[in-house]
Amino acid sequence: MDRHPNLSLTLTKDPRFKVALDLFNSADWYSAHDAFEELWHETNGPERRTLQGILQIAVAQLHLNNGNRVGATILYGESLGRLRKVGTPSLGIDLVELCNCINDRLNFLHKEEDPDTCSLPFLHQIVDDQ
């Protein structure tokens, strides 16, 4: 449950948020990063932490695409630390599923295996039953 529902609701209703989600989910990592970064610069509070975690995943994916496994490993780890922190707002995204995906990819990197043999990060939206 988001601790600051009004700020989270405002952010998730911003049309740029939907654009950023779509870019991320289509694996357009560079554009997704830019779109989420614009929102991140305008956001305060714990929602900023969620956006930063997502930004770090997009950059990790860019690093992987460029063959920089060390950079990807570092950013995946940092994103998990942010997204798993108690009180991190979900922004309507299934953060548990996202973190599980990133953890799997991180484990592949630690074992020096190909992380692309598991799922790409995806921002699944969750429905709030309020």
Number of domains in the chain: 1
Domain annotation covers residue 39: yes
pLDDT of residue 6: 60
pTM above 0.85, yes or no: yes
What is the chain written as a DSSP string?
A: --SSHHHHHHHHHSHHHHHHHHHHHTT-HHHHHHHHHHHHHT--SHHHHHHHHHHHHHHHHHHHHTT-HHHHHHHHHHHHHHHTSTT---TTB-HHHHHHHHHHHHHHHHTT--GGGSPPP---B-----
Which pLDDT band holds residue 9 (cuts at 50, 70, 90)? confident
Can you give the residue range of the structural domain that contains 49? 5-117
Is 17 domain-assigned?
yes
Q: Per-residue pLDDT tens for 56-89?
A: 999 999 999 999 999 999 999 999 999 999 999 9
Q: How much is the pLDDT for 1?
A: 40
Q: What's the CATH number where 76 sits?
A: 1.10.3450.10
Q: Is residue 70 part of a domain?
A: yes
The answer to whether position 126 is within a domain reads no
